[in-house]
Amino acid sequence: MNKHFVHRYIPNTAPGIREKMLKEIGISDVEQIYNEIPEKIRFKGKLDIPAEQLSELEVLKQVKTILIKNKTIENSLSFLGAGCWPHYVPALCDEISGRSEFLTAYAGLEATDLGRYQALFEFQSMMGDLFAMDVVGAPVYDGLSASGDAILMAAKITGRRELLVPETISYDRLLVLKVYSEPWLSIIKVKSRRNTGELDLNDLKTKITNNTAAVFIENPTYLGVIESQCKDIAHIAHDYGALLVAFVNPISLGILTPPGEFGADIACAEGQPLGNHISCGGAMLGILACHDEKRFVSAIPSFLITITKTSVKGEYAFSWHTAFDEKWERIVFTARDKAKSFTGTSSALWAINAAVYMALLGPKGFRQIGEVNIQKSYYAIKCLSKIGGIKVPLFSSMHFNEFTVNFDRTGKTVEEINKALLKRGIMGGKDISKEFPEFGNTAIYCVTEIHSKEDIDRLTKALKEVIQ
């Protein structure tokens, strides 16, 4: 053991300390502690990891050199969305979530960590206003796992075994739902109307039964369509005793009916658009919301931060909801084979960004951002539809943020088009021709408030050239 090893992140490596502490413990060598690990399984080899520590400057240089190999949506014009959306991140968000207290806190008591509890309570509250729902949990991992949690809630609450999803559901979401639902639910797809892209209510009516735990819908859908029939779908679901689970886009909730008002029992969402950088899909947060009823509250897997009082009059505190009431537990226990779920460390820091974002925007800000997103995306739709060979969008409904662009009549695949666009410094929309072969050569284009008129005009021009 090199006793002179000193490291900036390990203060006790300063000379002289090790001996003192070992003496206090009553041993001469740290190996005596590791004797707890049986000799034959002790690793004695050499690890193929850089042996020497690097100085901070070297770390910065090395990592930055690798990172600048990336192209970004700043130096390239990008129209990618499909699960991670490029919205403007106000400066306040990074300032607040960069505060080391928020950044490095974890699991302290309510009294030491009042700030993070309150921030998360405010996150829950503001999300509740956006959703028009009364119970919102602390965030889960991301919108996909939130979708998984939501359907498990429905399984727990109803005790039933079938889940209905739209056939145009996000491909990644379906993969995650399959994993989560495997032991508890079977998934049945409901057709969409080919012309509007909305759910086919007639098909829904034929497929829903008394064994349906939930009808799962997306609004807007994966393909960008605004599902206008949400209230009707809710009625159909409720007629059969099934729950309506709705996945929504929080950015759209300034202008679209929130899930609490169209009859959703459980709502889930991806919170990344609210004040979080796209960061290669790293800054995601899953949102779960439900009614303030015992059967829902006991089924929601998220931590639920709850406001309470203290021994001092007028003082607020925030803590975890703890379900412990023997009497009402019995009402809740209806399911035969109660579906189980789990939770843990998830996405609090990103939720703090979202809280700051929601506060900054306020009611009018959400209306405005919804408006601007629709205006810009429809400007793009109009421009692109003038290009020969392109059908945009595939569906006649109104869209939010994203829309399908079909290239069948150009004779080119989406892959070819995207590669050509890339040469012009443009990242085209997500290629969904493998996910949905029934839609042919189609891509999902995303236009948000960050795209300027010049950006959209540039895309139009480039596509025209590429298609010729």
Partner 1 sequence: MNNLIKKKKIGLIVNPFAGIGGRVGLKGSDGIETVKKAIELGAVSLAPERAVIALKRFSILQKEIELYTYPYEMGEDEAKDSGFINPIVIGTILKGETTPEDTKKAALKMAKCGVELLLFVGGDGTARDIYNAIDSKVPVLGIPAGVKIHSSVFAITPQHAGDLVEKFIKKDLPLCAKEVMDIDENLFRKGKISAQLYGYMNVPFERKLIQGAKSRSSFSTNKVREIAQFIVNNMGEEYYYILSTGTTVKAIGDILRIDKTLLGVDLIYKKKLIGKDLNEKDLLKFIVGKRVKIIVTVIGGQGYIFGRGNQQISPQIIRMVGKKNLIVIATQDKLISLGRSLLVDTGESECDKYLSGYIKVITGYNEESIWKVEC
Partner 2 sequence: MSINRSKRNEFENIETGYQAVRWHEPVIYELNRKGMENQIIPLAEKEIRMEVGDILSCIPAKIQRTSLPELPELSEPEIFRHYLRLSQQTFGFDSGINIGLGTCTMKYSPKINELLTRLPEFTNVHPLQDEETIQGILEIMYKLRNWLCELSGMDEFSFQPRGGAHGVYANACIIRAYHFSRGDIKRNEIITCAVSHPCNAGCPAAAGFKVITLYPDKDGDIGVEVLKAAVSERTAGIMLTAPYDTGVFDSKLVEYVRIIHDAGGLVCLDQANFNGVMTKLRAGDIGADLMHFNLHKTFSTPHGSLGPGTGAIGANKKLKKFLPIPVVEYNGSKYHLNYNLSDSIGKVGAFNGVIHNVIKTYAWILSMGAKGLQEASEWAVINNNYLIKKLLEIPGVEIAWPNRRKLQEARFTLKKLKEDTGIGSADFNERIIDYGIQSYFESHEPMIIPEPVTPEPGESVTKEDIDRFVEVFRQVSKEAYTNPEVVKTAPHRCSIHKIDPEPLENPKKWAMTWRVYLKKHE
Contact 449, 376 (CB under 8 A): yes
Under the binding rule (CB under 8 A), the answer on residue 427 touching partner 2 is yes
Per residue in 116-134, is it b (16+ CB within 10 Å) or e — as a string? Answer: bbbbbbbbbebbbebbbbe
Q: According to CB under 8 A, which residues from 340 to 399 bind partner 1?
A: 340-345
Selection from partner 2, partner 1, none that 326 binds (CB < 5 to 8 A by kind) is partner 1
One residue of 186, 206, 210, 231 binding partner 2 per CB under 8 A: 231
Selection from partner 1, partner 2, none that 362 binds (CB < 5 to 8 A by kind) is partner 2
- Give the DSSP H or E segment for 34: helix 31-34
The C-alpha atoms of residue 146 and residue 341 are separated, in whole angstroms, by: 11
Under the binding rule (CB under 8 A), the answer on residue 336 touching partner 1 is yes
One residue of 10, 66, 109, 312 binding partner 1 per CB under 8 A: 109
Under the binding rule (CB under 8 A), the answer on residue 338 touching partner 1 is yes
> Do the bridges between strand 266-270 and strand 286-290 make them parallel or antiparallel, or are there none, so unpaired?
antiparallel
Q: According to CB under 8 A, which residues from 390 to 449 bind partner 1?
A: none
What is the Cα gyration radius of the chain? 26
One residue of 4, 336, 344, 388 binding partner 2 per CB under 8 A: 344
The C-alpha atoms of residue 344 and residue 458 are separated, in whole angstroms, by: 45
Q: According to CB under 8 A, which residues from 256 to 285 bind partner 1?
A: none
| CB of 1 vs partner 2, minimal distance in Å | 8
Rounding to the nearest 10 degrees, give the CA dihedral for residues 200, 205, 206, 208.
110
The C-alpha atoms of residue 362 and residue 297 are separated, in whole angstroms, by: 27
Rounding to the nearest 10 degrees, give the CA dihedral for residues 80, 84, 86, 91.
-160
Under the binding rule (CB under 8 A), the answer on residue 104 touching partner 1 is no
Q: According to CB under 8 A, which residues from 68 to 127 bind partner 2?
A: 68-74, 76, 78, 80, 82-84, 86, 88, 90, 92, 94-96, 98-116, 118-122, 124-127
DSSP letter, residue 251: G
Selection from partner 2, partner 1, none that 334 binds (CB < 5 to 8 A by kind) is none
One residue of 110, 129, 416, 455 binding partner 1 per CB under 8 A: 110
Q: Which residues pair with 245 in a beta bridge?
A: 216, 266
Query: Candidates 23-31, 106-114, 404-412, 460-468 — which segment interacts with partner 1 by CB under 8 A?
Result: 106-114
Cα angle 444, 445, 446 (rounded to 5 degrees) comes to 120
The C-alpha atoms of residue 185 and residue 153 are separated, in whole angstroms, by: 11
321 vs 409, beta carbon nearer partner 2: 321
One residue of 77, 141, 155, 296 binding partner 2 per CB under 8 A: 141
Task: Output the six-digit token pair for 113.
Answer: 């960590």
Under the binding rule (CB under 8 A), the answer on residue 52 touching partner 1 is no
Under the binding rule (CB under 8 A), the answer on residue 238 touching partner 2 is no
Q: Which residues pair with 407 in a beta bridge?
A: none
Contact pattern for partner 2 over residues 179 through 218, marking x by CB under 8 A:
xx-xxx----------------------------------
The C-alpha atoms of residue 213 and residue 125 are separated, in whole angstroms, by: 28
Binding site for partner 1 (CB under 8 A): 106-110, 113, 298-299, 301, 303, 319-320, 322-326, 329-330, 333, 336-338, 340-345
